[in-house]
Structure 1
């Protein structure tokens, strides 16, 4: 049920925690194209830069609880606290669907 609510993000439970992942290069590519002249391409690292701004500004209580582990082709946020990952995933997904908000947050993302 949660995965349907979070799509295209997906929750993954593993022995010591939970991750939320999304494949890079598909979802919200038009957002990353806005700054492609600066080097953004929608990679997992670019997603992590965007998520870091979101976390710092919108959910600072989860800073240090939810961490990022991006790769070129995938964004991943994880924690040993499953509820923290679920809260982050729901809020970040909602922010991604709010075009004005996500563009504003992305304007402050820094290229990794």
Structure 2
């Protein structure tokens, strides 16, 4: 799950967090013309959910900031699955390039 972390903010409520600017692929994100901020990572999560894991749709909400990605909700297993998928992207430059290229080809625009 590294570099993401899943916390229980209050009993039964969870938040999946990623400190923006701390991943192994930050330089790749910048090479691709984006800022590695929380809003960009929300876009990554949205693409992953829509393309690879549509069963996760609607099972959590997003609340990113410039310095942090955050997804939250009561469905811990959904957030764990998202964390696993995002961790793969956050640690693999080639996978990040593929995701951004596929998103661009589908007309997705990252809000970074």
TM-score by length of 1: 0.81
What is the aligned partner in structure 2 of residue 110 from structure 1?
A: 109
1:28-84 Cα deviation digits (max 9, x unpaired): 212211222xxx211100111111111111111001113211000000111211111
Q: What are the ranges of 5 or more consecutive residues in structure 1 without an aligned counterpart?
A: 1-5
Higher relative contact order (CA 8 A, sep 6+): 2
Q: What are the ranges of 5 or more consecutive residues in structure 2 without an aligned counterpart?
A: none
Q: Please report how far the alpha carbon of residue 13 of structure 1 lies from its aligned counterpart in structure 2 after TM superposition.
A: 0.5
Q: Aligned-pair RMSD on alpha carbons? A: 1.6
Q: How many residue pairs get matched?
A: 104
TM-score by length of 2: 0.81
What is the aligned partner in structure 1 of residue 4 from structure 2?
A: 9
